[in-house]
Structure 1
């Protein structure tokens, strides 16, 4: 790919049209040419933060095949820039593009800790694991500035409430002491996303994420401190990282992970256009092959929304991937089990301290 045309440090290379808007935004060639002649920068490629004010922070998950009942997101949009991210489409509901806007316009919910505490104190609330990062990574770069994830973990600890975390950022180790305190009562599990053992692959798929070396260190450090870790090989993309399933499984098992999960990539909504544009610019030699193989896993389309099928796919290529993951579990995760989170302590700690009677 021509370095002059590539937007460095980003996954998406364009802002695709928001399906909810009649008008669209376009960066015209004549404008780019004018900026070049004038020595001006057409696109400063800066990350912006915007405060938003939700009424609630915990969402009930109705999808039957995502493995969680409740989720919360302190941030909307994600600077990690993973090109395949299913959450990109959600940015359209906020009036932005699923492309570059998703990576550069980050919405910040500063009231998240207070909203969470209000929920956990309700008499009607019954403890159930709440997953942080059901949509965007709670340890993305914004967390260094705002520390909302850390504050929410303090709330979970105060009320002895179970919480799960999904992340691909080594910033989680900043909060190791909090995680250890939660783990004493079996109130925490961590799900680390690892999609390759190759830094070259990681850089183009997930440009602003922690390195693979650092992510493996996260798995090792958390496991060493008694914090249960599941590793998510998500997503598996045919002809990009599908050949790495067994080596990745061995590496994360050796690092201490207790279980392994996976999904096969699906490119719903605007993500199909974003991914197709990206791969034709980044991997032109294999772009058509990869896109055809993804379609092969989803009934001839990039867009897959059928519950029970969308995560695992169908067809020969999907079967090969799913069989390899099953073999990896048998080979590297035999007799390993993720513990069930403790939901028994919250009721007696609903006021922030244990009830006497």
Structure 2
């Protein structure tokens, strides 16, 4: 089965073709980061309009790369949620329109299930079961994964997601959007011994996260430096390092707990923040000590992409799932643990 995957949940337009016999045959991505950077964050209306402009040319680009015509596509999968409702509607309406014209099945899939299973696109993919850390601008969750659609939520952020906290810290430090890569770059020049910021919710049992207090602590440190006239380039780097270390340690501590609590030896890490080098180093150390192994998607599949949607769509389409004719799905809020095994 050749499945066309469409991703338009937020600020990146992703398209891919996944062949259940040959694997991923083509993918392309257009990022809106430069457009939204002017505003310091994603502007939903601009995101929707840009998806409308980019999606059809990207679909044609991917089909050309895969050496396929539209009539050779067997099914279409699209991101149905969670995400920005206007952006989701662009992908949903395009997918349903194409599917109806071609007379093929179409299916809306869960964006976070795409991230969860993105490492399955790699040559060395994890076997079920495993623990997954989904860590991005909109989500920070720990999930026990027993199989496709068999997900048990272990813990999640009660306020800001880790990626959102990175973006807010970047803004406090006068850095550009998106904040994660900018904070990490600045932190590389920071002195790790100057400050130790709190590791939120690690002094109590459980696997939930909270980064709101850490954000406030970071702002307080910056304001104290400003009041003292000491917020120079080195001080900003030191704050960035302290902030990054706190987020990374918090994520690593909770991942260790999740592995210990479940007794599992495989950890999947996906979502935009999974590209953070310091986080990868910390998790590698933690897993090695436990005789466990950590898996990631390749770099370009850490952020939103069409390949993960095509892959998940293919698995569920092969199991017989379909959207009802003419019934598009656009679900801005969609809990991952509401999904079921096909």
Q: Structure 1-normalised TM-score? A: 0.30
Q: Which structure dedicates a bigger proportion of its chain to helix?
A: 2
Q: Which structure dedicates a bigger proportion of its chain to strand?
A: 2
Q: Structure 2-normalised TM-score? A: 0.31
